[in-house]
Structure 1
Amino acid sequence: MNAKHTSIDTSQPADDGRKPRSDGEQSRERLLLAAMRLFAAQGFSKTSTREIAQAANANVAAISYYFGDKAGLYQACFSFMCQPEPDNIAQFAQPHFTLLQTLEGYYRQMLAPLTAGGDAQLMLRLFYREMLEPTGLWQQEIDNNIKPEHLALVEALCRHLGVAQPTDDVHRLAYALVGMAVQMMVGRDIIASITPHLLDGPEAIETWAKYLVGFAEALVLAEKSKLQQG
Structure 2
Amino acid sequence: MSEKHIRKIRSDGEQSRERLLGAAMRLFAAQGFNATSTREIALAAGANVAAIAYYFGDKAGLYRAALTDFMPPPEKNIAQFDQPGFTLREMLHGYYTQLLAPMMEGDIAQLRLRMWLREVLEPTGIWQNEIDNGIRPEFEALAAVLARHLDVAVDDEVRRLVHGVAALGAHLMISQDIVAAVTPQLVAAPHALQEWIPRLVDYAEAIVTAEHEKRRKGAA
Task: Select between 63-72 and 104-113 the one with higher mean Cα deviation.
Answer: 63-72
CA contact (8 A) 2:143 2:158 kept: yes
2:190 to 181, 202, 212: 202
Paired residue for 1:11? none
**CA distance in structure 2 between the aligned counterparts of 1:203 and 1:61, rounded to whole angstroms:** 41
2:14 to 12, 25, 32: 25
2:141 to 144, 149, 152: 152
Write the deviation string for residues 41-94 of structure 1: whole angstroms up to 9, x where unpaired.
110001011111110111222222322221122122223133336432121111
Secondary structure of the residue aligned to 2:195 is: helix
> Which structure carries more helix by proportion?
2
TM-score of the aligned structures, taking structure 2 as reference length: 0.90
> When the two structures are aligned, how many residues end up with a matched partner?
212
The letter for the 2-side match of 1:167 is D
1:171 aligns with 2:159: yes
CA contact (8 A) 1:81 1:123 kept: no
1:126 aligns with 2:110: no
**CA distance in structure 2 between the aligned counterparts of 1:87 and 1:62, rounded to whole angstroms:** 31
Residue ranges of structure 2 left out of the alignment (5+ in a row): 1-6
TM superposition shift of 1:95: 2.0
**CA distance in structure 1 between the aligned counterparts of 2:77 and 2:38, rounded to whole angstroms:** 35
Secondary structure of the residue aligned to 1:88 is: helix
CA contact (8 A) 1:82 1:141 kept: no
CA RMSD of aligned residues (A): 1.7
TM superposition shift of 1:21: 4.3
CA contact (8 A) 1:49 1:63 kept: yes
The letter for the 2-side match of 1:225 is E
Paired residue for 1:116? 105
2:77 to 72, 88, 92: 88
**CA distance in structure 2 between the aligned counterparts of 1:87 and 1:81, rounded to whole angstroms:** 13
Q: Which fold has the larger relative contact order, with Cα–Cα distance below 8 Å and residues 6 or more apart in sequence? A: 1
TM-score of the aligned structures, taking structure 1 as reference length: 0.87
- Rate the CA distance shift 1:23–1:95 in 2: closer, same or farther, 3 A: closer
Write the deviation string for residues 91-143 of structure 1: whole angstroms up to 9, x where unpaired.
11112211111111111111111111111111111111111111111111111
Paired residue for 2:3? none
**CA distance in structure 1 between the aligned counterparts of 2:149 and 2:103, rounded to whole angstroms:** 28
1:72 aligns with 2:75: no
Secondary structure of the residue aligned to 2:76 is: coil
CA contact (8 A) 1:35 1:52 kept: yes
The percent of aligned pairs where both chains have the same amino acid is 58
The letter for the 2-side match of 1:29 is E
Write the deviation string for residues 189-211 of structure 1: whole angstroms up to 9, x where unpaired.
11111110000112211211111
The letter for the 1-side match of 2:70 is M
**CA distance in structure 2 between the aligned counterparts of 1:172 and 1:125, rounded to whole angstroms:** 27
CA contact (8 A) 2:28 2:115 kept: yes
